[in-house]
């Protein structure tokens, strides 16, 4: 496998073409942004931690029957993945009130939800990823009803699998964001699953172990990413 030209550069990752038309290399960067790109910075070694954490979760989810874009880890920062036609919809699942949900509904951060909440956001940086529902997705031809139903089912399954696993590591899965795409007509989980895209709280101390440390200038950001990796890989 040979890496060719860059196809796309996002805020935290690059996507590079390979000599295989249906495979891409996803390269994880240390660059960090928040608040629709208004806050910019670097988290030392973030790319290395996020790749390892994502690869760990993708392998775990594959074993549980969730199709993911992950093929293999090529190096510290490069992951080989199936090339997806990304559905421009971010799927957020929430177990505990935090972030934009707490703000929008006037909830105190940390209040548990009676059932997991599933939300959709239109993936558009210029618009600040506005929240949408099934009607917008169909009306704007973002995805078919069948694809949306599969994304919902997978997202809730991912929530169950990761919540159960992380509990054994004394981590609460507060909320997270997933992205999906199509590959040869089938729905796959794409993007990453990391402290950039999830809220992880220590079960006992409720200390934040995710990108909120960067967003809110809480310090010890790299340490938090390292601790998540250490806990999930630990026996
Ligand atoms: O900001 P908000 O509370 O809506 O975020 C919910 C979850 O989705 C958080 O875990 C956050 O890290 C993730 N998210 C993301 N990318 C976005 C928006 C949210 O990874 N563009």
Q: Distance of alpha carbon 63 from its chain centroid, rounded? A: 18
Atom 18 (ligand 1): residue with closest C-alpha? Answer: 177
Q: Are 26 and 41 in contact (CB under 8 A)?
A: no
Is pLDDT above 90 for 229? yes
Encode pLDDT of 67-77 as tens digits: 999 999 999 99
Atom 12 (ligand 1): residue with closest C-alpha? Answer: 197
Atom 11 (ligand 1): residue with closest C-alpha? Answer: 197
Mean pLDDT of the chain: 97
The ligand 1 site (C-beta within 6 Å) comprises 90, 92, 98-101, 129, 175-177, 197-199, 211
Residue of 125, 177, 180, 212 best suited for mutating to test ligand 1, as the one with most atoms within 8 Å of CB: 177
For residue 87, the SS3 value is: strand
Q: How many whole angstroms from 139 Cα to the centroid of ligand 1?
A: 24
- Give the mean pLDDT of 86-102: 98
Q: How many whole angstroms from 93 Cα to the centroid of ligand 1?
A: 9
State how far the Cα of 171 lies from the Cα of 163, in Å rounded to an integer: 8
* pTM score, whole prediction: 0.98
Is pLDDT above 90 for 144? yes
State how far the Cα of 69 lies from the Cα of 231, in Å rounded to an integer: 24
**In what helix (H) or strand (E) does residue 202 lie, and over which residues does it extend?**
strand 198-202
Place of tokens 């101390």: 205
Model confidence at 186, in pLDDT bands (50, 70, 90)?
very high
Q: How many whole angstroms from 19 Cα to the centroid of ligand 1?
A: 33
pLDDT over 70 for what percent of the chain? 100
For the record, the structure tokens of 151 come out as: 């994304």
For residue 221, the SS3 value is: helix
């Amino acid at each position: 496998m040979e890496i060719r030209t860059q196809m796309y550069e996002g805020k935290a990752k690059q996507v590079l073409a390979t000599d295989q038309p249906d495979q891409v290399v996803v390269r994880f960067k240390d660059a960090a942004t928040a608040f629709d790109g208004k806050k910019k910075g670097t988290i030392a070694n973030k790319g290395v931690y996020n790749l390892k954490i994502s690869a760990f979760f993708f392998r775990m989810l594959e074993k549980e029957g969730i199709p993911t874009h992950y093929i293999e880890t090529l190096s510290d920062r490069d992951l080989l993945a199936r090339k997806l036609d990304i559905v421009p919809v971010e799927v957020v699942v929430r177990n505990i009130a935090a972030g934009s949900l707490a703000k929008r509904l006037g909830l105190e951060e940390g209040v548990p939800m009676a059932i997991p909440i599933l939300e959709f956001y239109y993936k558009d940086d210029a618009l600040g990823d506005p929240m949408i529902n099934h009607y917008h997705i169909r009306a704007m031809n973002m995805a078919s009803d069948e694809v949306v139903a599969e994304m919902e089912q997978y997202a809730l399954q991912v929530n169950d699998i990761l919540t159960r696993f992380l509990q054994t590591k004394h981590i609460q899965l507060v909320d997270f964001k997933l992205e999906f795409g199509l590959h040869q007509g089938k729905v796959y989980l794409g993007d990453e699953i990391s402290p950039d895209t999830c809220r992880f709280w220590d079960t006992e101390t409720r200390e934040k172990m995710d990108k909120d440390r960067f967003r809110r200038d809480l310090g010890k950001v790299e340490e938090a990413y390292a601790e998540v990796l250490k806990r999930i890989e630990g026996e």
